[in-house]
């Protein structure tokens, strides 16, 4: 084959032909409100401790890291509470990788993964990459779910793995715990409750973690990328029955979590209250978006996460571009006519409101 081979010349898997790598634009813009991060970095003291932990780990960087990430999983279990232990917890490079492990273990050829749209745009990619068929059912018009809708979709779509995202991305809609409980009482499919944004909820304790002692098919997925302010560290995790963790251990690549990743995340968990200290501020910024955007003439979708869908624009791409021209990056995603903005610092929010007032209503 010629050295200047192009993608079109290569024997790519047919389902990958024409596909683009996933990802929001990473642009160098003063105000980035596009990927739902926590914009408050750790203190200098915590960063120093992270650096020291990496220095200590590098003393034996010639060796592979702890393949089981035992200390990290122990600390994650302690952070979650609910009597969970390391055997209930699995961790990987972001919940994106955790979910790939789940579908690697429980999806695959001939299996179906069901989600409730509109929802997180990476799910179809996890399914594609694990050769799992991706099927969907629409949420109600207000983006809520009830147990009847979920159970009937599981039945008609013959789902093997069900993903319920609460609060949902990109709508911010929470699914009440009693709905999840009724779903679990009605199915033996693997039910993944993606709680990536749970810490931002007005009811953070209404977590599906409390249902784990009763349901062996329940997986609760969490991440350190959002409330925990560790998106750059790349750590996601799940809590489930030990047998589910064992299934993930079969499909993971050996030594998938680097020594540096484990070291940084362990320090972050030792300082959980400090890492989470600004969640209340972000909740308040979210609540302010829900009040101020309607005052500026926009529709908003009620949100329980750290972002808000707002619109509706006739030409949302033009609105997105005008905000970008004003130095504010938001996300062009979700139902037609809407943009999604993440809650930011007071300075970022001030810049966002000033930009929104400039762009009009394209
Ligand atoms: N689940 C949901 C609902 C998300 O919105 C995201 C990030 N946008 C993730 C999972 C993945 O996060 P990470 O891989 O950074 O843990």
pLDDT tens per residue across span 262-312: 999 999 999 999 999 999 999 999 999 999 999 999 999 999 999 999 999
**At 116, is the pLDDT very low, low, confident or very high (cuts 50, 70, 90)?**
very high
Confidence of residue 324 (pLDDT cuts 50, 70, 90): very high
Of the candidates 274, 304, 284, which has an alpha carbon nearest to the alpha carbon of residue 349? Answer: 284
Residue with CA closest to ligand 1 atom 12: 95
3 state DSSP class of 281: helix
Output the CA 24–ligand 1 centroid distance in Å. 12
Q: Which tokens belong to 129?
A: 């990459």
The predicted model gives 309-318 an average pLDDT of 96
Enumerate the β-bridge partners of residue 300.
310
Residue pLDDT, tens place only, 39-52: 999 999 999 999 99
Predicted pLDDT of residue 15: 87
Ligand 1 in reach of 266 Cβ (< 6 A): no
Q: What mean pLDDT is predicted for residues 8-18?
A: 91
pLDDT for residue 153 is more than 90: yes
Q: How high is the pLDDT of residue 205?
A: 86
pLDDT band of residue 22 (cuts 50, 70, 90) is: confident
- 123 alpha carbon to ligand 1 midpoint, in Å? 10
The mean pLDDT value for 209-225 works out to 98
DSSP for 112-131 reads EEEEEES--TTHHHHHHHTT
Sign of the torsion angle spanned by Cα atoms 151, 157, 160, 164: negative
Residue 334, C-beta contacts closer than 8 angstroms, at least 6 positions apart? 118, 170, 171, 309, 340
> Tokens 């779910």 appear where?
145
Residue 177 — φ and ψ, nearest 5°? -60, -35
211: tokens are 């249902």
166 lines ligand 1 (CB under 6 A): no
Question: Span 184-193, mean pLDDT?
Answer: 98
What whole-number distance in Å separates Cα of residue 209 and Cα of residue 195?
A: 10
The CA distance from 78 to 70, in Å, is 12
Mean pLDDT on 214-232: 98
> Domains in the chain, start-ordered, CATH in brackets?
21-40+278-359 (3.90.1150.10), 44-274 (3.40.640.10)
- With a CB cutoff of 8 Å and minimum separation 6, the contacts of 202 are 283, 304
Rounded to 5 degrees, what are φ and ψ at 5?
-60, 145
Q: What span, in angstroms and rounded, lies between the C-alpha atoms of 182 and 190?
A: 14
Q: What is the mean pLDDT of residues 59-68?
A: 97
* Residue 55: band (very low, low, confident or very high) from pLDDT cuts 50, 70, 90: very high
Helix (H, G, I), strand (E, B) or coil at 219: strand
Q: How far apart are CA 209 and CA 125, in angstroms?
A: 26
Half-sphere exposure of 230 (CA within 13 A, CB side): 30
Closest residue by CA, ligand 1 atom 13: 94
- Indicate yes or no: pTM above 0.90: yes
Residue identifier of the C-alpha nearest atom 6 of ligand 1: 196
Mean pLDDT of the chain: 96
Q: Return the pLDDT at 281.
A: 97
Verify whether ligand 1 is closer than 6 Å to residue 223 (CB atom). yes
pLDDT at 339: 98
| Least confident span in 2-16, 85-99, 102-116 | 2-16
């Amino acid at each position: 084959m010629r050295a200047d081979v192009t993608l079109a010349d290569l024997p790519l898997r047919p389902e990958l032909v024409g596909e683009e790598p996933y990802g929001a634009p990473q642009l160098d813009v003063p105000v980035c409100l596009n990927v739902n991060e926590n914009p408050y970095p750790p203190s200098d003291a915590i960063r120093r401790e992270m650096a020291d932990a990496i220095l200590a780990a590098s003393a034996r960087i010639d060796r592979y890291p702890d393949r089981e990430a035992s200390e990290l999983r122990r600390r994650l279990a302690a952070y979650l509470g609910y009597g969970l232990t390391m055997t209930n917890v699995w961790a990987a490079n972001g919940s994106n990788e955790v979910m790939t492990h789940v579908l690697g273990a429980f999806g695959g050829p001939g299996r179906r993964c069901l989600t409730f749209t509109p929802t997180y745009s990476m799910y179809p990619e996890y399914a594609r990459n694990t050769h799992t068929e991706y099927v969907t059912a629409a949420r109600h018009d207000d983006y809520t779910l009830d147990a009847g809708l979920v159970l009937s979709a599981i039945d008609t779509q013959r789902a093997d793995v069900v993903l319920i995202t609460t609060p949902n991305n990109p709508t911010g809609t929470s699914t009440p715990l009693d709905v999840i409980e009724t779903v679990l009482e009605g199915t033996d499919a693997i039910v993944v409750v993606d709680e990536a944004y749970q810490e931002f909820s007005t009811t953070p304790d209404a977590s599906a973690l409390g249902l784990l002692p009763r349901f062996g098919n329940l997986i609760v997925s969490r991440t350190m990328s959002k409330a925990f302010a560790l998106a750059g560290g790349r750590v996601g995790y799940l809590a489930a029955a030990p047998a589910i963790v064992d299934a993930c251990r079969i499909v993971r690549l050996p030594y998938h979590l680097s020594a540096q990743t484990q070291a940084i995340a362990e320090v972050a968990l030792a300082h959980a209250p400090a890492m989470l200290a600004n969640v209340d501020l972000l909740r308040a910024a979210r609540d302010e978006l829900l009040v101020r955007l309607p005052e500026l003439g926009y529709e908003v979708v009620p949100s329980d996460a750290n972002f808000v869908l707002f619109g509706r624009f006739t030409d949302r791409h033009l609105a997105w571009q005008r905000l970008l021209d004003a130095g504010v990056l938001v996300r062009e995603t979700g139902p037609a006519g809407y943009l999604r903005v993440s809650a930011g610092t007071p300075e970022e929010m001030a810049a966002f409101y000033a930009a929104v007032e400039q762009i009009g209503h394209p």
